[in-house]
Structures are given as structure tokens and as C-alpha cells.
Amino acid sequence: MQNKKQYILSELAVFLNADLIGDGQCLISSIAPLDKAVSGQISFLENPKYKEYLVTTKASALILRKSDAPNVSTNILIVADPYLAYAKLTSLFVHKPSLVTGVHATVICGENCSIDPTAKIDAYCVLGNEVRIAAGVSIGSGCVLGANVSIGENSQLNANITLYNDVEIGKRVLIHGGAVLGADGFGMANDRGKWVKIHQLGSVIVGDDVEIGANTTIDRGALEDTVIASGVKLDNQIQIGHNVRIGENTAIAGCTGIAGSVVIGKNCVLAGGVGINGHIEITDGVIVTAMSGVEKSITKPGVYSSGIPAKPHITWWRILARLLQLDDFAKRLSKLEKEVCNK
């Protein structure tokens, strides 16, 4: 289905493979939250705490599970997963500027570059030697691509992205502004108090259908490549160290830091602010909750947490005071155990 300004509800039902209840000719022009939607908009219910708005919403149509449909008076699309349906629907309403192909006159291009005629490269980009740009690629203004960089079909680089030499980007990859791929990993050897740089000889390999958030940094490998597998989704401001390998369809939220030589499996989820210690492995299907620190390898799928959630200031100080007394309590307990055992 092509992007356009309005759709009739029956078109959306076909697109989502949804059951339609109501007026299939109802015009839908955009998506809005349940409590803020107005006529001409469609909304959805995923979080039960918003269920009260089902009777007051002014949306022209709703995306619901079958169990939520009774007593709802507006038009309905019945699906198994409203949030997934909403995600798919956003592709129809996203604003996509028309792709004007060609290389802007201000682009500086190195020797022996291969640029498909259907690609677009905006103003003030710099391309090193031997850069390869495939069909349908869009590169925003101010990007810098080092020598021997390759970008696969229909990938999109937004403005001010830096790809160091030898970085490989797969097909249909989306990289947001300010991201840096292929900078040196943090490798140093100590020579009697002075640091000796370990030059990073690997690169960064990104698979297909990957999204990389704004200002995220992915370091090149020391000897082997840093690898981001197909389907991985990375949020903004993530740091990925050298030689890290991230498995297919893993999602990582903002401000996560991953130290060097970590191996993360497939279909994992790392929430915001997670810290991963270097040289460990996380198996497939692991969820790590926000602000957790992972120091050792995780070998079994499941949900893992650490850290202490925020508490009122006074409550936290009371908890801290008790924590500081634990060592003394342990010593006293050990002494009592010995006295009891000697009786």
C-alpha cells in the first residue's frame, strides 16, 4: 500500500488483516493517542490503564482486541495485537520526502567510487576512495564516509553521520544523525606508567534491516570486526565497544554501554542505561531491565535485573544506613554462631 494523506477504513483493515466492525468508508487521515484523538483519526488500546477512554474518545476508529470491543460504539478494527498493528500502520502515515536522486554539486568524492544512479547524496558530504553506494541509498547532508565504505540497497543515512574506513552497511539500514561507526576501540597497553595505543585493525559490519539511533557509537574491532547482525535495533546514545557481536533481532535502549568483546545473542532486549562488562556472553532470549549492570555471562534465557530503584530521599538514607551496618551485623552474627556451637 502506498503512502497517501487519507485511507478509508476498509483499506486499513486489509492492510492489517483485521476484522472490520462499522463503516468501511470512514476516512482516516492520521493516528493519535486514545485520549486526544479527534474525528478523522484512528487510535488503539494496548495499556489497560487507558481503557477508560474507550467510552469518551472522539477517534473515528479504534484498533482493539476482540475482548475490548463490546460496548464500544465507534468503528473498530479487531486484531490480535493492537500495538503491533499500530506499529505497522505508522508506515502509512510517516512523512517521507520525495527522493530526488543524484549527487549534490558540493559533494567531495574520492577516486574509484561506485554510486548507483538511483542513489541520493545531499550537500557537503565527503566520500573517500573506493566507496560503494548501492541502488536507492539516501545520504543526508554533512556525512563523511571513509575509504572503502560500502552501503547496501535502500539504506538511509541521515545528516552528519561518520563512517570510518572499511565499514560495511547492509540493506535497508536506517542510521540517525550524529552516529559514528568505525572509530577506534579503547585499547591501550601500559608501559611502566605510560599508555601505548593498540591500533584497531578490524572494522564494523552491519547486517540488513538494522536501525541505529542518533549519536550512537560503534567502535571498530581490534583484530576481528565488530558485528551488528540483521534486524538489530539500537536506540540513541548507545556505546558499543570493539569486537562486540550482537545477534539478530536484539533491541537495545538508550544510554546502554557495552564494553569490548561482548557477545550478545539473538532476540535479546537491553533496557535503558544497562552496563555490560567486557569479555562476557549473553545467550539468546535474555531481557535485562533498566539501569542493570551485567558483570558475568548469562547462560540461560530470562529476565535479569540489578540496581536499586529510586526512593524518597529520607527512605534511601535509611536504607543506606542499614547497608553500612551489614558488615558489623555479619561479624556479630558469626560470633554468636560460634558461641552457640561451642556450648
DSSP string, 44-104: E--SGGGGGGGTT---SEEEE-GGG-TT--SEEEE-S-HHHHHHHHHHHHS-------EE-
* The CATH fold of domain 7-93: 3.40.1390
Looking at residue 339, its pLDDT comes to: 80
Cβ density class 198-215: b for 16+ within 10 Å, e for less: eebebbbbbbbbbbbbbb
Ranking 41-45, 90-94, 208-212 by mean pLDDT, the lowest is 90-94
Kindly tell me if the per-residue pLDDT of 115 is higher than 80.
yes
Kindly tell me if the per-residue pLDDT of 1 is higher than 70.
no
Share of the chain above pLDDT 90, in %: 86
Q: Distance between CA 297 and CA 265 in Å, rounded? A: 11
Looking at residue 100, its pLDDT comes to: 79
Kindly tell me if the per-residue pLDDT of 96 is higher than 80.
no
HSE-CB at 79 with a 13 A cutoff on CA atoms is: 24
Q: Distance between CA 262 and CA 207 in Å, rounded? A: 18
HEC letters along 93-104? HCCCCCCCCEEC
> Distance of alpha carbon 141 from its chain centroid, rounded?
23
Residue-wise pLDDT tens digits, 12-25:
999 999 999 999 99
Looking at residue 101, its pLDDT comes to: 87
251 and 258 in contact (C-beta within 8 Å)?
A: no
Q: Which H/E stretch holds residue 297? A: none
Confidence band for 310, pLDDT divided at 50, 70 and 90:
confident
Higher pLDDT pick, 99 / 85: 85
Kindly tell me if the per-residue pLDDT of 202 is higher than 70.
yes
The answer for residues whose C-beta is within 8 angstroms of residue 288's C-beta and 6 or more apart is 268, 269, 270, 271, 274, 282, 294, 303, 304, 305
Rounded to 10 deg, the angle between the 9-16 and 82-93 helix axes is 120
Kindly tell me if the per-residue pLDDT of 320 is higher than 80.
yes
Kindly tell me if the per-residue pLDDT of 300 is higher than 70.
yes
Average pLDDT over every residue of 201-228: 97
Kindly tell me if the per-residue pLDDT of 2 is higher than 70.
no
Average pLDDT over every residue of 210-232: 97
Mean residue pLDDT across the chain? 94
Share of the chain above pLDDT 70, in %: 98
Question: What positions carry a catalytic annotation?
Answer: 242
Confidence band for 309, pLDDT divided at 50, 70 and 90:
confident
Q: From residue 158, how far is each of 139, 215, 300, 312 by CA, in Å?
A: 6, 11, 38, 41
Domain boundaries along the sequence of the chain: 7-93, 102-304, 312-343
Confidence band for 199, pLDDT divided at 50, 70 and 90:
very high
Decide which of 3.40.50.2300, 2.40.50.140, 3.40.50.150, 2.160.10.10 is the CATH code for 102-304: 2.160.10.10
Backbone φ, ψ for residue 75 (5° rounding): -65, 145
